[in-house]
Amino acid sequence: MFFQLLVSGLSFGSLYALIALAMVIIYKTSEVPNFGQGEMSMLSTFVAHTLLVTHGYSFPVAFIGALLFAGLLGVFLEFVFLRRAKDPNILSLILITLGFQMLLYGVGSWKWGADQKDFPFPVSDFDIIQLGPAVFSYLNLATLLIALTLMLVLFLFFKYTKVGIAMKATQQNAMAARINGIRTNRILSITWAMSSIIGAVAGMLLAPIATLDPNLMLDPLLKGFAAAVMGGMTTLVGAVVGGYLLGIIENLFGGYISLEFKSIVAFGIIVLVLCFKPSGLFARHYVKKV
């Protein structure tokens, strides 16, 4: 039973890690958690479903189409709302992201309704492989491999590409980056596009396991946020480790203690981490002198 719970925890932890990464990328740039991330993912997943079911496109075409939509959605929200905010502070920006959440939730409910839909995925959740004492479905394996591949690409992007280095410079000191010729507004748009694309991948990996409706990402967003808080909102590695730790801890708690109270684990982790290590388990704590 322990190994089975561990395997399932790794699968769900991959999804939490992706959502945490999407939130951390935005937070590192603006120091604001994007609470509209879940609804951005949900809307992109609905676009993929429409391309697959209504228009009959193949899965690769629908997948790429949804990622393009997600990127454009991220750029649109940053350009139209955040960039136009007058004298923004942290609180006002958080309220704007909450506004994104309500706006996009309303658009999804209006366009696709509240009915639950099945999301066609080329890999089945019923075909399984035996890994020692545990059973791994093909969908769980695909989720794990896709998530790990995307994380590796993301880390290489930040380390070796000019755009990735410019994003890191903007995140560390936007004013200094602007003085050195980096177009920080464009970097912010790219950041929001990347975050939205990562979230869309998480949504399309989650939809075959759950059912597709406007509430698809409500619970995963909170758990992804908990994973980011646990690992540290300023470190990509911490977000990934936090996602996997949360997935494993949550599954073990549900298996050995209480399935009914499984969902409270994420909130308990947020409270504990904020009480004892506010910067997260893997982030450095900085003190600003004023």
Q: What is the pLDDT of residues 1-28, one digit of tens each?
A: 788 888 888 888 999 999 999 999 988 8
- H-helix or E-strand containing 120? none
For residue 92, what pLDDT is reported?
A: 85
Average pLDDT (95-110) is 91
Percent of the chain with pLDDT over 90: 36
CA–CA gap between residue 82 and residue 69 (Å, rounded): 19
For the ranges 68-72, 73-77, 128-132, the lowest mean pLDDT is seen at 128-132
For residue 83, what pLDDT is reported?
A: 82
Query: What tokens were used for 253?
Result: 């708690």
**End-to-end C-alpha distance for the chain, whole angstroms:** 53
Query: What tokens were used for 77?
Result: 């929200």
Ramachandran sector of residue 4 (left: φ over 0; alpha: ψ -120 to 50; beta: rest): alpha
Confidence of residue 111 (pLDDT cuts 50, 70, 90): very high
For residue 284, what pLDDT is reported?
A: 63
- Find residue 130's DSSP bridge partners: 135
**Residue 290 reports pLDDT greater than 50:** no
Tell me what the pLDDT averaged over the chain comes to. Answer: 86
Query: What tokens were used for 89?
Result: 């502070």
228: buried, middle or exposed (CB in 10 Å: 19+, 13-18, 0-12)?
Answer: buried
Work out the widest C-alpha separation in the chain, in whole angstroms: 59
**Residue 236 reports pLDDT greater than 90:** no
CA distances from 262 to 29, 127, 226 (A): 32, 26, 14
For residue 289, what pLDDT is reported?
A: 46
Average pLDDT (196-220) is 92
Report yes or no: 212 and 48 within 8 Å, Cβ to Cβ: no
- In this structure, the number of other CB atoms found within 10 A of the CB of residue 225 comes to 24
DSSP letter at 32 equals -
Confidence of residue 265 (pLDDT cuts 50, 70, 90): confident
For residue 52, what pLDDT is reported?
A: 94
Average pLDDT (226-246) is 88
Average pLDDT (38-45) is 94
